Structure 1
Amino acid sequence: MSERRPELRIGDRERDAVASALQDAMAEGRLTMEEMQERLDAALQARTYADLDALVADLPIDPPSAALTSPRPSDPRLLRAPGSSVEDRLVLDAGWSSVTREGRWEIPPFVRINGAVGSVRLDCLQATTRSDIIDIEVIGNAGSITIVVPQDWSANLDRLSAGWGSAKSKVAAQPSRGAPLLVLHGAMGWGSLVVRHANWFDRRRLRKQGILLDPPRRPELGR
Structure 2
Amino acid sequence: MRELDRDHAVQRLQMAYAEGLLDAGEMETRLEQALTARTPGTLATALADLPDEQVVLAFLGGRLKRTGAWRVPRTLRLVSEYGHAKLDLSRADIGYPAIEIALELEYGSARLILPRRATVDLSGLQSAWKPPVYRNSTRPGAGTLHVQVSGKMGYGRLKIRHRS
TM range (shorter): 0.5 to 0.7
Q: Name 1:120's counterpart in structure 2.
A: 85
- The CA deviation at 1:129 is 1.6
Identity of aligned residues (%): 22
Kindly report structure 1 stretches of 4+ aligned residues shifted beyond 3 Å: 14-17, 74-77, 172-175
Is 1:179–2:124 an aligned residue pair? no
**Which residue of the partner structure matches residue 110 of structure 1?**
75
Q: SS of 1:137's equivalent?
A: strand
Computed over aligned residues only, the root mean square deviation of the Cα atoms, in angstroms, reads 3.1
Deviations 1:28-81 (A, max 9, x none): xxxxxxxxxxxxxxxxxxxxxxxxxxxxxxxxxxxxxxx9xxxx734449x99x
2:85 counterpart of 1:140: no
The whole-number CA distance in structure 2 between the counterparts of 1:174 and 1:185 is 22
Mark the runs of 5 or more structure 2 residues left unpaired by the alignment. 1-5, 28-46
Is the CA contact 1:115–1:143 (under 8 Å) kept in the aligned structure 2? Answer: yes
Name the TM-score, length of structure 1 as normaliser: 0.50
Please state if 1:13 is matched with 2:8.
yes
Q: Which has the higher contact order (CA 8 A, sep 6+)?
A: 2
Q: Could you say which residue in structure 2 is the equivalent of 1:73?
A: 18
Return the match for 1:189 from 147, 154, 160: 154
The within-5 A match list for 1:27-176 is 73-76=18-21, 85=52, 89-171=54-136, 175-176=140-141
Is the partner of 2:112 in helix, strand or coil?
strand
Matched position secondary structure for 2:132: strand
Paired positions, count: 131
Query: 2: distance between equivalents of 1:174 and 1:160?
Result: 22
Q: Which has the higher strand share?
A: 2
Q: CA deviation at 1:167?
A: 1.4
